Copies of this chain bind each other. A is one copy, B any other.
Amino acid sequence: MPSSLAESDASQTLNASALTQLRSDIIACRLMPNERLRVEALRERYGMGASPIREALMRLEAEGLVELEQNKGFRVSEVSRENLLDLMNTRIEIESIALRWSLEKGGVEWEANLLSAFHRLSRQSKIDPANTAAISEAWSKEHADFHTALVSACGAPTLLSIRSRLFEQAERYVALSIMSSSPLRDDVTEHKQLMRAALNRDVDKTLDLNRMHITRTLDKVAVALEASKAHVDPRMMNRKTLK
């Protein structure tokens, strides 16, 4: 059974389709961290040849979602406490810059857009009726859109693209933490405060709130990650015991 809801629309290259689906599957942890990505398996999963898949994997390697080892193939990037901390700390700083610039430059258009994004987010249920063990895909979309709207007026495309890459990586950790423990926190309030501060052009407050928003996620994910570490390490231990 094909995995992703995002069915490849018409007139896209298989390459692009593979890229979208793979990225989506990795971020949602339908392909688990450290899982080996055998081309034959993916070939079957997505119903296409090896070339578009390898190309997509190379692309994802640059994005940091996939790792490649010479002649040993691809695997989904490993997760770890250190990587999580690294990622979140970096993300906080990057978003801070983007937010600062966005608050400086944002006009009416930006304000309207932000309000609109918040409204859509607040009306979207976080829980997925179909799959209670996962966050609603629609909510994820609106959530991402809201945070994008916050920084969208920053005027530095390079910075924005870096930001969204980090955001995606963080989403993977969140997906992971949902799978183990899911006391879904209510973050409508958080988002509202964030928006208010931004609209008031209160840079310090916005940055603080954003930092707290990220930190709170980080803590939750870190706990879940530590808990799931109790599971067996997937390294094979098939060497026969000595004497």
Contacts and interface: CB of A to CB of B under 8 A. Distances in A.
A5 to B, nearest CB: 22
Interface in A65-100: 70-71, 83, 86-87, 89-90, 93-94, 97
Contacts of A156: 86, 89-90
How many copies of this protein are present in the complex? 2
A97 B60 CA distance: 26
Contact of A13 (B64, B71, B83): B71
A107 interface: no
Nearest to A12: B70
Interface string A166-203: 10000000000000000000000000000000000000
Interface string A6-19: 00000011011000
A4 interface: no
Interface stretch (A49-57, A109-117, A232-240): A49-57
Contacts of A83: 157-158
A162 interface: yes
Given A13-B71, A62-B59, A62-B62, A87 B158 contact: yes
A59 B74 CA distance: 14
Nearest to A161: B64
B86 A93 contact: no
A167 to B, nearest CB: 13
A110 B166 CA distance: 27
A184 B139 CA distance: 54
Contact of A90 (B55, B59, B70, B159): B159
